[in-house]
Amino acid sequence: MTEQNHSEQDHYGLIARFAGPEALVAATLSAREAGYRRLEAHAPFPVPGLAEALTFRERGIPLIALSLGATAAAAAFFLQWYTAVIDYPFVVGGKPLNSWPAFLPVTFQVGIFSTVMAATITMLAKDRLPHYYHPIFNCDDFARASADGFFLSVRGGDPAEVEDFLRAQGAENVRELML
């Protein structure tokens, strides 16, 4: 009894391997229809339609990247204007103190730099990466997810019921995942 309780506590979910990208998309769609919500699909490349099957609708990353990039560019311009006009006014080559066209290259580069950093860091934060331990790595054939395997993992639920469902969707093999 205690042993069974222990294994129930350690139960994370089930993972199933499918034959190919199309089969995985189809299985994901029907799992959503059947009411499963805690799903994660794994593929070795971005399979068209797979994220949409998991109702992925984020548009945030480009917007965040663009707005942070624009803000940083404005800050860079302000820094140049402030240092050249207010803090250290110094006439060079008879140019006006606020010689704004000459400030644009640095403004542009800082904007680009920040856009890139913002996009990348936002992605990592949303993905919750780095994330070195995950129960699915306990699955013995999950190594194929980075080569030629297409997986769907279902978290929680009654293992027997979920397994029947996954098998009915044409899963090639189904494994239990432990925490």
Partner 1 sequence: MPQTTPETLLPEGLTHTTMTERIAGLVLEPRARGRWRLAFAVSAALALMFVVCLGTVFTVGVGLFGVNIPVAWGFPIVNTIWWIGIAHAGTLISAVLLLTRQPWRAPVARLAEAMALFAIVCAGIYAIVHLGRPQFMQFLIPYPNTMDLWPQWRSPLVWDFFAISTYFVFTLGFLYFSLLPDFATLRDRAHSRGLQIFYGVMALGWRGSALHWARYEQVNRVLAAVAAPIVVSVTGIISLDLAVSLVPGFHFTIFPPYFVAGALFSGFATVSFLAVVTRAMFGLKDLITRRHLDYLGRMMLLFALVVNYAYIQEVFTAWYSGDPYQRAVYINRWTGPYAPAWWAMFVCNSLLVQLLWFRRVRRSPAMLLALAITSNIGMWLERFQIVFTSTYASYMPSAWGLSGPTLWDLLVALGSLGLFAFLLLAFVRLAPVVSMHDMRVSIYRAVHKEKSGD
CB 135 within 8 A of CB 143: no
Token look-up 């925490």 returns: 179
SS3 label, residue 41: strand
Nearer to partner 1, 126 or 167 (CB): 126
Q: Is 137 in the site for partner 1 (CB under 8 A)?
A: yes
Q: Are 150 and 21 in contact (CB under 8 A)?
A: yes
Stretch that binds partner 1, among 3-11, 29-37, 40-48, 160-168 (CB under 8 A): 40-48
112 binds partner 1 (CB under 8 A): yes
Eight-class DSSP state of 92: -
Cα separation of 121 and 36, whole Å? Answer: 30
CB 125 within 8 A of CB 61: no
- Is there binding between residue 116 and partner 1 (CB under 8 A)? yes
* Residues making contact with partner 1 (CB under 8 A): 21, 28, 40-47, 50-51, 53-54, 56, 58, 61-62, 65, 79-80, 83-84, 87-88, 92-93, 95, 99, 102-103, 105-106, 108-110, 112-113, 115-117, 119-120, 122-124, 126-127, 129-134, 136-137, 142-148
